[in-house]
Chain A
Amino acid sequence: MSTDEKTIEQPVSFEFSDENREKIKAQLAKYPKGKQASGVMPLLDLAQRQSGGWLPRAAMDHVAEVLDMAPIRVYEVATFYTMYNLKPIGDHHVQVCTNVPCWLRGSDNVVSACRKKLGIEFGETTEDGKFTLSEVECQGACVNAPMVLIGDDFYEDLDEGSMAAILDELQGGGTPTPGPQNDRKGCEPLGGLTSLKDQKGDG
């Protein structure tokens, strides 16, 4: 990983909140005794949410302590996945997929909309601290490509215009509706069902 994350200001300590401690109990109950280290990813996620979207080193050390792991094993996991941010990010983390399916369906336009609107490049944060733009690998929503992930929500079937609209709304403090940004329902074919129309389905 880049070295600049080692130079950022780190909080001195980190402790899980009471609420998160309950959640940890539930998470660790999923794993056999002695294998609690398997819970490192959900715990890191909780720690990241509690710390405002990024993982300070103290948080990683605390997770290591909770799970009785060597700290380096936690660092390895945290640096491997793009879902963990090792430096502070903006309020809205805009993660654009540029893998092949999204790219074929026009992710280039989505990226340029973001660049134009926010005035930043990948890996940068706007000066007001509202947006961070990242390039990510496949998020598994190829059926509705191109897509971006903002916070916990997928925005799909994007084009330059809809992407700009989403960013505008976020800028204004609103919450854009997640999901396909055209008329598609879920991941059904665009323009409605083309087969199995008379099937009611069983729910």
Chain B
Amino acid sequence: MPTLTIDGIEVEVEAGLTVLQACEQAGIEIPRFCYHERLSVAGNCRMCLVEMERAPKPVASCAMPVGDGMVITTNSPAVKKMREGVMEFLLINHPLDCPICDQGGECDLQDQALGYGLDRSRYTEQKRAVKDKDLGPLIGTEMTRCIHCTRCIRFSSEVAGVPEMGATGRGEHMEVGTYIEKALTSELSGNMIDLCPVGALTSKPYAFSARPWELKKTESIDVMDAVGTAIRVDTRGPEVMRVLPRLNEDVNEEWISDKGRFACDGLKRQRLDTPYVRRDGALQPATWDDAFAAIAENLKGQDGSSFAAIAGDMACVESMTALKNLSEALGSNNTDCRADGAALDAGTRAGYLFNTTIAGIDDSDACLIIGSNPRREAPVINARIRKRYLMGGFKAGLVGESVDLTYACDNLGAGVETLNEILEGKHAFSKVLKNAKKPMLILGQGALMRSDGAAVLGLARKLAEAYDMVTDGWNGFNVLHTAAARVGGLDIGFVPSKGGLDVAGILDGAVSGKIKTVYLLGADEIDTSKLANAFVIYQGHHGDAGAHAADVVLPGAAYTEKNATYVNTEGRIQHTRLAVFPPGDAREDWTIIRALSDVLGKTLPCNSLDDVRSRMAAMNPVFGGEELVTAEWGTFGSDGAIESGGFASCIETYYMTDPISRNSETMARCIRALYGDSEGKTGTDG
């Protein structure tokens, strides 16, 4: 390991690092604009200049590999003067519009100009002005501010894998953009806003709405998909202003999908802020007492077996725990959290988790994707697979619809026939899996939502076992979830017990009259037309499909409005935090069920969040333990016959999958921009 001296401090660093990284390890901060640790080195901003002994000129520390015995100076007057020179050049064409710039207060250029900028400009000639680009409904541009660091260009071609940004023209006329006017099609495009060190790329929906120092920042978890992206919710008063990603190397690194970032404006529309009771055929505002009384009236004298509960895609573990307990108290076994009908087996935890873990993708060397489009279902995980692909020595194959996943991925076939061929070793990909040291497979919900889903699950398990995907210290069997609530629901056993009905059974039962009361806990992705004969209680935060079918609506809290537990697709237990209070009369979800249980005379023994959480731990010890535990392998799925026919992804339109994103104007604009005006494109196009 090379040893070098930086400002008199001797540090030993890994070979292959750059001088800039070595400086950071020595605790010295080097100013930079173009350098970013997750992107390739560009070396074009020159802000990171340092002095190197025996070098005739200053060196760009971001592009200089460390060498043994190097002597680096970062704090000499000469270095300061060099950086001041670079800064002066950068500011020549940068407008002095900080007071009206959205980046103000969180701008790298502003911050570093404080350290290296002159107090006045010596430049008297015309400044350059650049026409703004239209990059679609998410990213606003003010290209005159661009300092040509090329981070956005490198991000789009390296991380996102959708090379649409580029630098056209040259010299004074160089411009960053897409050249032809078009909306960016990456599901990760919003990250360019964070990467932009100046205010050239800014968030369009958030434009001119707040200053960073007036926002309250709450660390939380995203629930728009099942990745469990770490987020920071920025709020002002009762309003969520924006959502930003937080660093979590194990999950999202520092990226976030566009839906997670931009759908938050859906939190302001169509909210349920007061209870409703259906009177004379129409839902009418009511008090909590009225709503509970209506439910009590309905349940009076009713047998428990005619009560059913379905948990939706965004339900937290706390509320599902309370509802499960209430159902049991009422004598009902008809509870199901698999609103999409996926044939997941709650019995074996390894059978419904992304066991490899997201960070574990980095270690795998072959990946078989079954009935999934990870680019749409979990863009951040897809970026991780792409990252693994770019490292080399990685083969990916897809069974299902042919899609552009942003990395080389052979389409092996459409459906079950191909899976059987692979299992029998007759397919070319069998060899790839056989020779791989750490093979993995990703099973999408699209393959499990079919009527023969259990058999597909069983087949996938056999595949995993046949190709030694499950060994000591490695589990290559992965289920990719799309609903943030699903794993948590399965963990507490929110599934039919002792002959209870599943979602399909409940819906059919509601039609036949066997099921009289259905409790929908944020469940909107079901066929609500089948519920016409039943008494429907809807608890949730948006007036969506579920609320329209309801007889009693109980207003709950969205993920930004409660301290709640979500388990991501890996089985990682994470907590959202209350950033704003629920609107109007809406309440945190578990408290609603607790209050209802009191009215029904089945009082649940939990009076605080801690009580609920200890009940969760009692139902499944994982909730009492560490954030992420390895699940034991077991038997799951069935051996049944599988119908032929191809697998399809479970997500048709990426931008609208849940009540929040369906109510988001930004997401609606995305759909218009990407699918609205082009012929021959469907919701599943890239």
Contacts and interface: CB of A to CB of B under 8 A. Distances in A.
A2 B131 CA distance: 9
B178 interface: yes
A6 B178 CA distance: 12
B180 A3 contact: no
Contacts of A1: 168-169, 173, 175
A75 B170 contact: no
B208 interface: no
Nearest to A79: B168
Given A72-B166, A73-B163, A79-B169, A3 B179 contact: no
Nearest to B131: A3
A57 interface: yes
A76 interface: yes
- Residue in A1, A2, A6, A73 with the greatest tally of chain B CB atoms within 10 Å: A1
Given A1-B173, A79-B168, A80-B169, A72 B131 contact: no
B187 interface: no
23 contacts: A1-B169, A1-B173, A1-B175, A3-B131, A6-B181, A57-B180, A70-B157, A70-B163, A70-B164, A71-B180, A72-B163, A72-B164, A72-B178, A73-B163, A73-B166, A75-B166, A75-B168, A75-B179, A76-B166, A79-B168, A79-B170, A79-B179, A80-B169
- Residue in B166, B169, B173, B181 with the greatest tally of chain A CB atoms within 10 Å: B166
Nearest to B170: A80
| Secondary structure call for the A interface | helix
A79 B173 CA distance: 10
A76 B175 contact: no
Interface in A60-96: 70-73, 75-76, 79-80
Contacts of A2: 173
A99 to B, nearest CB: 14
Nearest to A81: B170
A70 B163 CA distance: 6
B167 interface: yes
Contacts of A71: 180
Contacts of B178: 72
A75 to B, nearest CB: 4
A70 B185 CA distance: 13
Contacts of A3: 131
Counting from the closest, the 8 A-B pairs by CB-CB distance are A70-B163, A72-B166, A79-B168, A75-B179, A1-B169, A76-B166, A80-B170, A79-B169
B496 to A, nearest CB: 49
Contact of B165 (A6, A72, A79): A72
Contacts of B170: 79-80
B142 to A, nearest CB: 16
B464 to A, nearest CB: 33
B134 to A, nearest CB: 12
Contacts of B181: 6
A61 to B, nearest CB: 9
Interface in B140-190: 157, 163-170, 173, 175, 178-181
Contacts of B131: 3
Contacts of B163: 70, 72-73
- Residue in A6, A71, A72, A80 with the greatest tally of chain B CB atoms within 10 Å: A72
Interface in A1-20: 1-3, 6
Nearest to A10: B180
Interface residues of A, number: 13
Nearest to B179: A75
A3 B163 CA distance: 22
Nearest to B178: A72
A80 B167 CA distance: 9
B135 to A, nearest CB: 12
Contacts of B169: 1, 79-80
Nearest to A75: B179
Nearest to B180: A57
A72 B135 CA distance: 14
Nearest to A57: B180
A4 to B, nearest CB: 11
A70 B173 CA distance: 22
A76 B180 contact: no
Contacts of A73: 163, 166
Contacts of A76: 166-168, 179
B421 to A, nearest CB: 29
B675 to A, nearest CB: 20
A1 B173 CA distance: 6
A188 B342 CA distance: 83
B290 to A, nearest CB: 60
Nearest to A2: B173
B31 to A, nearest CB: 28
A75 B170 CA distance: 12
A1 B174 CA distance: 7
Nearest to B162: A70
Contacts of B175: 1
Contacts of B180: 6, 57, 71, 75
A76 B167 CA distance: 6
A56 B36 CA distance: 36
Contacts of B157: 70
A75 B168 CA distance: 7
Nearest to A69: B163
A30 B231 CA distance: 50
Nearest to B165: A72
Given A1-B168, A6-B181, 14 more contacts: A1-B173, A2-B173, A6-B180, A57-B180, A70-B157, A70-B164, A72-B166, A73-B166, A75-B166, A75-B180, A76-B167, A76-B179, A79-B169, A80-B169
B672 to A, nearest CB: 22
- Residue in B163, B170, B179 with the greatest tally of chain A CB atoms within 10 Å: B179
B158 to A, nearest CB: 12
A76 B489 CA distance: 50
A61 B521 CA distance: 50
B181 to A, nearest CB: 8
A167 B550 CA distance: 84
B234 to A, nearest CB: 32
A2 B130 CA distance: 10
A72 B156 CA distance: 11
Interface in B200-237: none
A5 to B, nearest CB: 10
- Residue in A2, A3, A75 with the greatest tally of chain B CB atoms within 10 Å: A75
A77 to B, nearest CB: 9
Contacts of A75: 166, 168, 179-180
A73 B173 CA distance: 17
Interface in A116-147: none
Nearest to A76: B166
Nearest to B177: A72
A73 B163 CA distance: 8
A73 B346 CA distance: 49
Contacts of A79: 168-170, 179
A107 B37 CA distance: 49
A80 B166 CA distance: 12
A13 to B, nearest CB: 15
A160 B464 CA distance: 81
A6 B170 CA distance: 17
A86 to B, nearest CB: 10
Contacts of A80: 168-170
A54 B168 CA distance: 17
B151 to A, nearest CB: 16
A57 B182 CA distance: 14
Contacts of B166: 72-73, 75-76
Contacts of A57: 180
Contacts of A6: 180-181
A71 B185 CA distance: 14
A50 to B, nearest CB: 21
Interface in B264-308: none
Contacts of B164: 70, 72
